[in-house]
Structure formats: structure tokens, C-alpha cells
Structure 1
Amino acid sequence: MATLLRKPPCLIFVLLAVASSMQPCIHVAASVPCYFIFGDSMVDSGNNNRLSTSAKVNYPPYGIDFPAGPTGRFTNGKTLADIITELLGLKDYIQPFATATESEMMNGVNYASGSSGIRDEAGSNLGTHVGFNQQLNNHQVTISSLTKTLNDSTSAHLNQCLYTVGIGSNDYINDYFLPCSATSTQYTPDEFAGVLIDHYSKQIRTLHDAGARKIALFGLGAIGCTPNSIVLFGKNGKCAENITGAVRLFNGRLKSLVDQLNKELTDSKVIYINSMGTLGGNPTKLGFKVFNSSCCQVNNVGLCNPSSTACPNRNEFIFWDSFHPTEAMNKITAERAFHAADPSDAYPFGISQLVA
């Protein structure tokens, strides 16, 4: 039976995730030669497994529906990035930077780290993590490795790759809305969104300078509607409006940043992915029946208890633990990001058109 969190005296929680070397079942030609993934626990594929942090989940019941079991993904099965990898037609799932070999780097690298944020201080309450700035540094290490094989054609190779970035949730969950943090006293929600976007803008330009030409930026999801946020900040079992309002301010500025980047970086294309879509609509139409509680029994930091029993009807749950979506939810988000069948799914178009 799913459980919810009780409010601790001074602790807030993470958005995490895990990875594997198993091959997806793909029968289409790859639309790109490589895929580079930056972000937090939503797409982390094992980079946190060896770090000193509470933001790691390389134990069951995580991975209960993944062929390789608990690899570090913070869900029951595939992450959002795994499903996008399949939709791209790539042969193998993208390996985490922590363990990727030089040959595997040719197909791309996953740099994502649970509890990381746009700013380095985000998520530090949970222990060691790889923030976005360090992820960008790790990408330079990858480029140096690729150059040994590709020589002068390295830039041409990178220009063809897909780059996705999904980060910023921990700047709110594990910084701005952290009970013990002074950040919220320094900035109003609108000011903080501006601070984050200023940082983010410089970081994306750094990624462009390193060779990225096809970039998809994921907006923040409905973090005010997670089981954790509902318990700690919601009223009458509803989403936390203060968090939802702050997320909308950030996403609005991020969408404007996409316009600015496309105007300035004329040799590239940058798109915005609306990650709020599913929970903003009517999830029951998609087959979900449980919206505000987790599929697994959670501990005091909102993660599944080790070796605990998960719910059998996982396709009916939106949330796996107190923060992270189930594979069923990840599939819907990935499909919308990739195909953008509805104009509100992505701006100015979806990933499939970006890589076409």
C-alpha cells in the first residue's frame, strides 16, 4: 500500500533517477548518431551510485520493471531519457558518465545527477552531487576522449547529436522551498526565476560553444503536485499553489529564453518542452487512477524503502515514489516531447522535428 511522507523538522527531498547497459527493443533507423543528456534525477542513469549522497536508488524495488533491475534509475522502469533514446532509434541506452567507456561515448553520454540543479548549491543538503556546471565540465572530458578517435571531425559529429537538458527542480525543492534555506528570504519567486534563467542562459551558451546545435530544454514539471509537495505544502490534498506559481514563472522565462537563443545562435535550434502538460489536464483519460500517492512505501526522505513491496497496478499510478514518475507516466511525457501532437507540448516544435 502506498504511503505518504510525514513532515520532518528541517528536511526536503530530491528528484532523482537510474541507468543500465541493456538494449532497448528498436527497429527503426537512428535519426541522430548520438544523444547527450544533462539533468537531475528524472534522467540520472547511475551517476550518483558511487557518491556520498542520500539521492541514490541502486536497490530494489527501483528497477522492478527494468531488464537490468535497480541500476540507479529513480523509477520502476525506463526513465524519460531511455524512452527518448528508443524514439530516436539508437541501438543502446545512453550510458552514465561515471562508467561510460570511450567507445560508448561515441553514442552519447548521460551526465545527469540526482539532486543537482542550475546553481551549485541546489541539493547540497542531500550530499554530494554533480551540478549542471560540473556536468558541462564532464562534457569537455568526453569531447577530449572523442577527439582521440574522430580528430578534426569531432565538431561535425557533435553538431549532429541531440542534446536534452532538464534541470531546475532541485533549485526549488532543495533550495528555495527548503525550510532551512535563506534563499527564499533573498528573492521573491519572480526574482529567483530571473536569477535561475540568467545562470541557465550562460550554461546553455557554454553547451553551444562546445558543439551543441540541436538542443531541447525541458521546462519544470508539476513539482507542486508530487505526493511530497501535497503533504508538506498542499491544502485539502491538492497541489501546492505556491510551488506551482513559482514553476510557472520559471517556465515562462525559459520559453522566452528559447526565443532569445534562437535569435542569437543562428547556427543552432533550441526548443522548449512543456513538462506540465499531463498533470495540467485530465490524467484519468490516460488511464491513471492514483494521482497523489506513491506506488512504493517511502522512507523519511521520500524514496522507496529498500526491498519494500511495490503496488501491482503500476500503470495506474502517476508517481513511483514521493517525487518521481512511474514508467507509464514517463512514456506519455516522452511521446509528447518527441511528437508534439498538441501545439502546447513543445515550442516551436517537438524533438522529432528538431532532429529531422
Structure 2
Amino acid sequence: MWYRLSFCKVWYHIAEAVIKLPQNSTIPAVIVFGDSVVDTGNNNYIETIVKVNYPPYGKDFMGGKPTGRFSDGKVPSDLIAEELGIKGLLAAYFDPTLQDEDLLTGVNFASGGAGYDPLTSDLVDLYKLGARRIGVFGLPPGCLPSQRTLKGGAERKCIDLYNQVSELFNNKLSDEMDSINKRYPIARMTYMDIYKLPLDVIHNPQKYEFRGWKADRRFSDGKVPSDLLAEELGIKPLLPAYLDPSLQDQDFLTGVNFASGASGYDPLTSDVASVLSLTDQLKLFKEYITKLKKIAGEEKSSEILREGLIALVTGSNDITNTYFITPFRKIQYNVPSYTDLLVSYASSFVQESRLQMKDAVEQGQ
């Protein structure tokens, strides 16, 4: 089972675990090298396709805007600087707004998509340049969002092969840090384990107060508009999916959700994505009415359908996916005529839904 966890929250636990300074010891600055895990925006200012200057990156950041950080909020380098009490954000070295005071408390040289090879010579170079406190992070488990999306299958699981490679690399890296420390005794090269804790958080979220953060198949990191609507009306906080096998009789009485992600008014939209079309959803609605009558009786069912609110929210996939990404509709329609087509489909659906409810209400009277 994959749990949707906030990357920042996981890293807060890691920062608290790995940063334990001796008494009366302080660190004046943090200087970071690395890849996308810690890049605070350097890639925004170089010529590369590896950028994250678009939503949903940055949605949990100040202002809710993408900053070049490969995260929806702060990245680990920010959290480490914050945990050490140095500053809340670690600036990217290439950021044109970099101030002199930023140089005094540390900057970030990381670049998303980078890697380190050869490791030892790089660390020795850092030593020669005057660095004496060097923390080297191991590899995380194969559970990063991009990894799960590309290789994790339909359930977006962590990738076992990646985990095995990470463990092998981390063991060798830890040994190498011990070896370097022996060669450079006045420096302190510290191996920082970021494998075990994130994996434990993912497998045992309750231990870290991530209760209820189980992936719920909503196309959101929280409630969707249909939930908020039902909650605002004082009906219930969550509107369950009609196809949810755990659906209860009580759910029928207070409303359900027939929506299918990636569908639209245009039948081609749902065909391309292999999801439920509005016609399919309407068939489920007819099935729902039949079940509702068995649960509540004709009269109560009639009241629910007569007084209940029907919400229809769709169309964006028609425009974004079907019209602009696939070539099929552009051949037949220009933008004005295609929007006319969508309105026609919407009208037909609403009228058909109305007939279904009208028949059901009249049968209950």
C-alpha cells in the first residue's frame, strides 16, 4: 500500500534525527551540493530542460508559486538550515537576487538531475578548499514521486530494485566516509542515512502522526470540490465514490459521486483515456436510483431526488487533452465550433438526467 506523504514532513523528521550538535557547538553557514532533492532553484537560471518552474511545484510554498525547488514546498536543504537555526531558506547560488548576507550564512549549488562521480575526489577537493564539516547523504529508498510514477505500476509502489541498489550504495558510502575520516583526522565526514527513516514512515505512517494520509484516489492532495460542497451544505464531510466497494446504505441516502478522472463531455475524451464517459456515469445513476428505491422506498427516494443537488463538473479534459493534444478534433472543428459541440453534449446530458429524475420522482408520488 502506498501512502501519500508530504515530502517536507518526512524531511522534518530526518532533519531532527540527523542534526545533533555537541553542546556549545554552532554552525554559522550551510553550503549544499547535490541534485533535485536539494536544488533550491539553480536550474531555473541555467539552460536545461530539467526545471520545475510550473505548478503543482511550489503549491505549499510562500505565495503558492513554483520556485525552482523540486518540491511542493521547502526542500531538505532548507529544512536543515532551518533546523540549525541559521535561516529559513537556503538561497540558490545562481539566483540573481542573491544578497551579500546570503553568502555569510550559506548558499546552495545543487542542480536537479546531477549526480556525483567520482565521489572521493570531490570530497577531497572540498577538504582542500577549507571545508571541515561535510555531511554526505546516502540514497533515499526508491519511493520518490517520479520513481513511483515511472516504474511503480498502477499503485505507484516503491521500487524494490531501486531499494536494493540504494542499500548497496549506502553501505559502501558509509564505509568510504570512515576511510576518509582516518585519512583526514581534523575534518569530519559524516554519512547521513536518509534511507531507513523515510521507508519506515511510508510503511508505518501512524508512528509519525500521518494518520489518515492514505492515498484515497481523489485527484487532489486533500478534499475535492464535491466534498467541499457536501460539507458546506452540512450533509457530510466526504462524498464517496459510487464504485467504492465499501459504500454503505447510508451513503445512498445522502449522495454519492459518479465522476471519473480524465472524462469530459466529448465521448472521445473518455475513450482516449479509457475512463467512464458521461453516458457510463448516467447508466450508473440509473442503477443508483434502483438501489436507492430498495433502500429507502419509493416515497423517500422521490424526495431525495426531488430535493437533492446534482452537480456536473467536467470539460477541462476536452479542451486540454482532446482538442489541443490529440489531432482528431482539430481536423473537424475550430475552437468556437468545438465549444459549441461541448455545450450540445452538456445540454443532452442534463436533459437526460432530468428525465431520469422526473420519472423516478413521479413513480414515487
The normalised TM-score by structure 1 is 0.49
Q: Which has the higher helix share?
A: 2
The normalised TM-score by structure 2 is 0.48
Higher Rg of the two aligned structures: 2
Higher relative contact order (CA 8 A, sep 6+): 1
